[in-house]
Each structure stands twice: as C-alpha cells, then as structure tokens.
Amino acid sequence: MSNASYFMWLGDDDWLDNNYITECMNILAANTDTSIVAGQVKYYGINDSYLYTGIIMNLLSNYKKQRVLNYFSTVKHNGIFYGVMRRELIIKCGLRNDMGGDLLMIASLVFNGKVHTIDTCSLHRRRGGISSNSKEITISISGSWLDYHFPRISVAKNVFQHILFDPTFSELSLSTRLLLALQCVSYAAARKVLSVLFKKRFLEQSGIPEL
C-alpha cells in the first residue's frame, strides 16, 4: 500500500475528472473528523453510454452509530468505496476478503469519521466485470457455498458479525453492538425489498429514521 497520507481505489477501466483527487484531498485536509470524501459516481454501459449517477451519500452526523445506520440504509452500488480516504484508517480497519468486504470496510471507516460527497468532480465507472456478478465475486474470493448460492444472505451474515465482533466497534457495549447490527441488516434488507417493489430509488428522497 502507498505511504502517502491519503489513498483511493480505482478500477482498471474507470477514470477520474482531472480535479477529483485535489478536490477530495482539500476537504479531507480541512475536516479532521472526516474519513472519506468522494465526488459523484457516474456509471456507463456499452460503448461508454451514460446510464445514471449513483446515490449522493453524505454521512455528517456527529453520532457514530447514526452514521453507520444511515450508511446501510442508503448504500446501493457503494460508490463511496472509490472516494479518497485517510490511509491510517484503512490500515486500522482493513479490507476483508469476504462477500461484501467493501461494505464492511466502509462501515468501519464511517464509524471512525464523517463522509462527504461533493458535486464539483466525478468518478466514472463502467458497469460490468467481476464486481457486477456475485458468482464471479465468490470465485475470486474462494467463497463458500452460501456465498455462491445465497450472496445476499451471506452479506447480511457478514455485516451482522462484523458489527458485533470487529474491534472497530469494541467501544460500544455488547447489547449496543447487537442492536446496531440488527438495525443495519434490517434497514438494508427493507431498502432492497422496497426498491424491488417500487422500482425506484425511494430512499433518495425519504428521510432516514434516527436511532
């Protein structure tokens, strides 16, 4: 990993606006309570035809638990994973080689700091590749039978266990971690069910319940 103060991930077929890194780093430098800053994430299909812009995620609550719950209540394609992050927090939180490992890492980062999405720059992603297919992801991480056949259940299990047992959340009592884990899994599941039923990003306009 880089020895620089900041770090970001970028797919080999994705690209950034020229000002992306500078704009994100400026926000991080000015806000020591922030762990991730990202621009808007725009997605493209065949022949680089524009498809849509990802959910704008700003997790600015001063309460750690609230930020984590808000994250799981709104995350869809997890474009915030491609934001600029503080390197020391990535080392502290780590990236697990599990189904939904990117969600688990971002959850830990969100617990450690706020998340900003800015509209002055964009990251451009092509839909497709391993990350768009759960079975290919399972093969790439040498996943389990559960990962392969029931990926959503596997992700839910990993999220629950991560919040309950990961050292990131150890400052919380066991009962608080248990409740937070149940809330995060429940809200994420409810969001998925409703988005399937109504075929729209209903949470982009609706409020998120407070803890």
Closest C-alpha among 172, 29, 190, 162 to residue 106: 162
pLDDT digits (tens, 9 = 90+) for 129-167: 544 444 455 444 456 656 666 677 888 888 999 999 999
Top pLDDT among 170 and 209 is at 170
For the record, the structure tokens of 11 come out as 């797919």
DSSP code at position 97: S
- What is the model's pLDDT at position 60? 96
- Segment 162-188 mean pLDDT: 93
Give the pLDDT band (50/70/90) at residue 201. very low
In one-letter notation, the amino acid at residue 75 is: V
Cα gap 40→118, rounded to integer Å: 7
Cα gap 137→52, rounded to integer Å: 23
pLDDT digits (tens, 9 = 90+) for 74-122: 888 899 999 999 999 988 887 767 778 889 999 999 999 999 999 999 9
What is the b/e burial string over 162-181, where b = at least 16 CB atoms within 10 angstroms of the residue's CB?
Answer: bbeebebbeebeeeebeebb
Those residues whose C-beta lies under 8 Å from the C-beta of residue 165, and which sit 6 or more positions away, are: none
- What is the model's pLDDT at position 200? 47
- What is the model's pLDDT at position 12? 86
- What is the model's pLDDT at position 171? 96
24 contacts 39 by C-beta, under 8 angstroms: yes
Give the pLDDT band (50/70/90) at residue 199. very low
Mean pLDDT score of the chain:
82
> Percent of the chain beyond pLDDT 70?
77
The C-alpha angle 50, 56, 62, rounded to 5 degrees, equals: 165
- What is the model's pLDDT at position 197? 45
pTM for the model stands at 0.81
